[in-house]
Amino acid sequence: MKIISTIDELRDQLRGQLRTAFVPTMGNLHEGHLSLMRLARRHGDPVVASIFVNRLQFGPNEDFDKYPRTFQADVEKLEKEGVYVLFAPTEKDLYPEPQEYRVQPPDNLGTILEGEFRPGFFNGVCTVVTKLFSCVQPRVAVFGKKDYQQLMIIRNMARQFALPTEIIGAETFRAEDGLALSSRNGYLSSEERAEAPFLFQTLNWVAEQTRAGHPDLAALEREAMARLAARGWKPDYVSIRKRMNLQAPDAADYIPHSAENAPLVVLTAAKLGNTRLIDNLEI
Ligand code: PAF
């Protein structure tokens, strides 16, 4: 595997490649990331991964400084997956001057759910992904469904800018007890780790209630938040949305027991101790 940090060298290395499959990451790789690499391999060749902890997508009080950086271990994992190039720019390589031009997602997607609790997050994500795409020029790029809203925003961005990159969504990789794999799981104490699967259990409960024809989805969301809070979680949201645009379903989209309902997804973000976890489940 070639490890490249500068944009010029990356362009030289990938010149003439028309089927590149790209997996952008922030490192601290786990099985979830590796499953993205395997999916990428099925959709293109060569597989290019990136590791870059993108300051632009972290708020001032977020975990940019303490975000786990495990470069050597990551390199070994990617080598085993047969990744051809690892693009690992420094901040100076990717942002040699202040990144004043930004890619701003529309408010109806960028300021809801995660965007409400992490202002500027999707601006930072869209900006870095656009820049990484410009460097790698992939034919396909793979993103996990665990970051459901991020996947939708990037897919819409690629479509509206007519980017030549197809966006592929990969299923969430879960531990045996249901917890979605995430680099932030490493922040959990052993007690918190034992409690963490309750988040996915809550999503399953919401999905079952919805499928069983719960008469009031807003009340169901409130009840799910209360269940989390009762066990010491601090939920930011548990929200049932339409899969197609992440807007709340209205009376015509959800009629209890109707087979015609709009496809839905339930999304959540909640803090356990100091660790904020997100997850989602298609209903
Ligand atoms: O999902 C992530 O790890 C990041 O948001 C991404 C897509 C690599 C952009 O920094």
Q: Which of 25, 155, 165 to mutate to test the pocket of ligand 1 (most atoms within 8 A of CB)?
A: 25
Residue 25 beta carbon below 6 angstroms from any ligand 1 atom? yes
Mean per-residue pLDDT, 190-213: 97
DSSP letter at 262?
A: P
Q: 190 alpha carbon to ligand 1 midpoint, in Å?
A: 26
Strand, coil or helix: what is 122? Answer: helix
- d(C-alpha 216, C-alpha 38), whole Å: 41
Tokens of 75: 């390199």
Active-site position among 33, 43, 214, 257: 33
Q: Helix 198-211 and helix 217-230: axis angle, to 10°?
A: 160
Residue 234 backbone dihedrals phi, psi, to 5 degrees: -115, 90
Residue-wise pLDDT tens digits, 27-41: 999 999 999 999 999
* Helix boundaries (H) for the chain: 7-14, 31-43, 71-80, 91-94, 107-110, 114-117, 121-136, 148-160, 190-195, 198-211, 217-230
DSSP per-residue codes, 204-221: HHHHHHHHTT-S-HHHHH
Mean per-residue pLDDT, 201-205: 98
Tokens of 76: 């070994």
Q: Give the residue, by CA position, lying nearest to ligand 1 atom 3.
A: 25
The pLDDT, as a whole number, for residue 259 is 85
Beta bridge partner(s), residue 174: 180
Mean per-residue pLDDT, 84-108: 98
The percentage of residues in the chain with a pLDDT greater than 70, rounded to a whole number, is 100
Kindly tell me if the per-residue pLDDT of 144 is higher than 90. yes
Q: Helix 121-136 and helix 148-160: axis angle, to 10°?
A: 60
- d(C-alpha 19, C-alpha 168), whole Å: 14
Predicted model pTM: 0.96
Residue 125 beta carbon below 6 angstroms from any ligand 1 atom? yes
The pLDDT, as a whole number, for residue 273 is 97
198 confidence band (pLDDT: 50, 70, 90): very high
The percentage of residues in the chain with a pLDDT greater than 90, rounded to a whole number, is 98
Residue-wise pLDDT tens digits, 46-94: 999 999 999 999 999 999 999 999 999 999 999 999 999 999 999 999 9
Query: What's the mean pLDDT when you consider all of the chain?
Result: 97
Strand, coil or helix: what is 104? Answer: coil
